[in-house]
Amino acid sequence: CFSAGHDLSDIATGEKLPRPNFQAKVIEGLAGLPQPVVTAVHSHCYTGALELALAGDLIVASENARFADTHGKWALQPVWGISQRLPRKVGKSRATEMMLTGRTYTAVEALEMDLVCRVFPDEEFESAVSQYCREMLSNSWHSLRGYKMLITETDAMSLEEGLAYEIYNGVGVGPDMQERIADFGSKKS
């Protein structure tokens, strides 16, 4: 499940908001995890929830998922990273449209703009997400972490800089390589 963001009725009754940097640090912690993070969105994912979802490496959604950045509707400016992460995810033009209009997008629209990488049927959502994650986890933890590190570290680099970074900073052979090759060989026999 996901969220429509902060409960506006709490704000209307005078609830003191936490320091903006507190949530930003939590979101940065999630984004900075060395292993890949899959964000599973079922239902509404608005404003702060969208900022949280964007901290994941991959976003998957149910058919009924809806996405919107509604900061502008409530006289808010983002402080958790959406102005930086959303353009990198969907492109500057689409991100600008999302942020300036506050429009709600369906899961299919989110897939078409590369905000999400998969849309699963509502009734199969949990099992489909589990299978999706199991497929990823069948790969070496060493490779998964290495890919995440390379993708993250080279994101703003030119192709030439990124290639050099991969060649000189890639983590290479993992400690589980021999075991994986042996397992593969025994399955062929």
Q: Measured at the alpha carbon of residue 113, what is the angle toward residues 128 and 3, in degrees to the nearest 5?
A: 55
Packing angle, helices 92-101 and 82-90, rounded to 10: 130
| Domains of the chain listed by start with CATH number | 8-137 (3.90.226.10), 141-188 (no CATH)
Residue 75 zone, left/alpha/beta (φ > 0; ψ -120 to 50; rest): left
**Single pTM value for the model:** 0.86
174-184 per-position pLDDT tens digit: 899 889 988 88
119-134 per-position pLDDT tens digit: 999 999 999 999 999 9
45-97 per-position pLDDT tens digit: 999 999 999 999 999 999 999 999 999 998 988 988 999 999 999 999 999 99
